[in-house]
Amino acid sequence: MKTILDLETYPLDQPESPEYSALVARCRDELAQNGMFNLVGFMKTDAIQQTLDYALPKFETEAFRHERAHNIYFKKTIPDVADNSALYNEFSTSNLTLCGDQVEPTAVTKLYEWQPFVNFLATVMERPALYPMDDPLARLNVMAYFEGQGLNWHFDRSEFTTTLLLQAPETGSTFQFRTDLRSADDPNYEGVEKLVLGQDPLVQSLDASAGTLNVFRGVNTPHCVTPAHGPRPRVVTVLTYYENPGARFSDEEKLGFYGRTE
């Protein structure tokens, strides 16, 4: 993995070292304060380029074009919310998606399956263990956002989201988020409505560089990625792990996200 990852800066292969302990402590602190942590330059340039060389042509011939109009909850009915609420306002999300089975001979697949990386994520998140999915489609995705495509405001279903940026566009594709807008005990509909209407002054923005690993607590922190602009697409890998082994998406979910079940 030393040819793929910067293991000198991020010694994931040395879990007994003081440098590893310091990295874990830093990531935990950043998660607590900001709801995310970033490892800049985590994947090396050559590994990124090899992955792009393999994946970019596939976006033209094999990718599933995901287009969806949705509200911030991805729900048609929101409990205890009036039908005319701004919480039902719909946004547009659009991207091209390659599934895990379409990018197997790449560095991102090697990263996904590398046990020290999985152990590191579990340690930072203070989980007994994390497991790769058994689903060849959903386990990891490589997504591209071409001119005008973006990911609009939403909450994540899972507590944590792990992404690796492979390529930034010329302009746009800014990651925007509002930390801890709701909680398990308080949906804070009033606050979420202000966000939907563009009236929340606490929204933050982040522009990442290629090779940056981002781990984000998105279940209570709404977030979006603004539209990309220019001929170079934003390309990002999403790595999905679960606390229990054997996780798979349903056929309905796979049809919705990938246009196929096998």
User: What is the set of domains in the chain, with CATH numbers?
Assistant: 18-258 (2.60.120.620)
Model confidence pLDDT, tens digit, residues 17-27:
999 999 999 99
- Model confidence band, residue 196 (pLDDT cutoffs 50, 70, 90): very high
pTM of the model as a whole:
0.92
Confidence of residue 256 (pLDDT cuts 50, 70, 90): confident
Q: What is the pLDDT of residue 35?
A: 87
Q: What is the pLDDT of residue 257?
A: 87
Using pLDDT thresholds of 50, 70 and 90, give the confidence band for residue 95. very high
Q: Which pLDDT score is estimated for 34?
A: 87
DSSP string across 23-71: HHHHHHHHHHHHSEEEETT-B-HHHHHHHHHHHHHHHHHT-EEEEEEE-
Give the highest mean pLDDT range of 49-53, 182-186, 220-224: 49-53
Coil, strand or helix at 10? coil
Statement: residue 156 has pLDDT above 90:
no
Q: Read off the pLDDT band of 262 (50, 70, 90).
A: confident
Compute the average pLDDT of residues 248-252. 92
- In this prediction, residue 167 carries a pLDDT of 97
In this predicted structure, what is the pLDDT of residue 159? 83
pLDDT tens column, 30-64: 999 888 999 999 999 999 999 999 999 999 999 99
Report pLDDT for 158: 80
d(Cα 247, Cα 135) in Å, to the nearest integer?
Answer: 7
Rounded Cα distance, 236 and 73, in Å:
23
Q: What whole-number distance in Å separates Cα of residue 31 and Cα of residue 93?
A: 26
pLDDT digits (tens, 9 = 90+) for 65-78: 999 899 999 899 99
Backbone φ and ψ for 108, nearest 5 degrees, come out as -70, -30
Grade residue 228 by pLDDT with cuts at 50, 70 and 90. very high
